[in-house]
C-alpha cells in the first residue's frame, strides 16, 4: 500500500489516507456536501457533487487534488 497522501506526495498522513492539508479540504467538502444534498433534496450523490465542483472555475487546485483522489477511489 502506498504510504503517501492520496492527493499529494506528502508522507505525513494525518487521517483517511490524507495529509493534514488535504484532510481539512476533505472535511470541508463533506460539510458542503450536506448543504448541497439539502438543496437537491438528497438527489445528488457524493460523486456527482465532486463532478460538479470540478466544473466550477472557482474550485481551487488543492480541492481538485482531493476530488481527483476521491473519484479515483470509486472508478476502479
Q: Give the binding range for Zn ion (CB under 5 A) out of 4-12, 41-49, 53-61, 66-74.
A: 4-12
Residue in the block written with cell 472555475: 57
Interface with Zn ion, residue 50, by CB under 5 A: no
Interface with Zn ion, residue 44, by CB under 5 A: no
Residue in the block written with cell 500500500: 1
Interface with Zn ion, residue 10, by CB under 5 A: yes
Q: Give the binding range for Zn ion (CB under 5 A) out of 21-29, 47-55, 56-64, 67-75.
A: 21-29
Interface with Zn ion, residue 69, by CB under 5 A: no
Q: Which of 1, 2, 3, 7 binds Zn ion (CB under 5 A)?
A: 7
- Cα angle 1, 19, 63 (rounded to 5 degrees) comes to 110
Please choose, from the candidates 73, 45, 74, 70, the residue with its C-alpha nearest in 3D space to the C-alpha of residue 59: 70
Q: Residue 15: helix, strand or coil by DSSP?
A: strand
Amino acid at each position: 500500500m502506498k504510504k503517501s497522501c492520496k492527493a499529494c506526495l506528502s508522507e505525513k498522513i494525518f487521517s483517511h489516507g490524507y495529509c493534514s492539508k488535504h484532510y481539512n479540504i476533505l472535511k470541508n467538502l463533506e460539510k458542503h456536501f450536506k448543504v448541497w444534498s439539502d438543496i437537491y433534496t438528497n438527489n445528488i450523490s457524493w460523486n456527482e457533487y465532486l463532478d460538479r465542483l470540478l466544473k466550477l472555475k472557482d474550485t481551487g487546485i488543492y480541492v481538485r487534488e482531493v476530488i481527483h483522489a476521491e473519484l479515483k477511489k470509486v472508478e476502479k
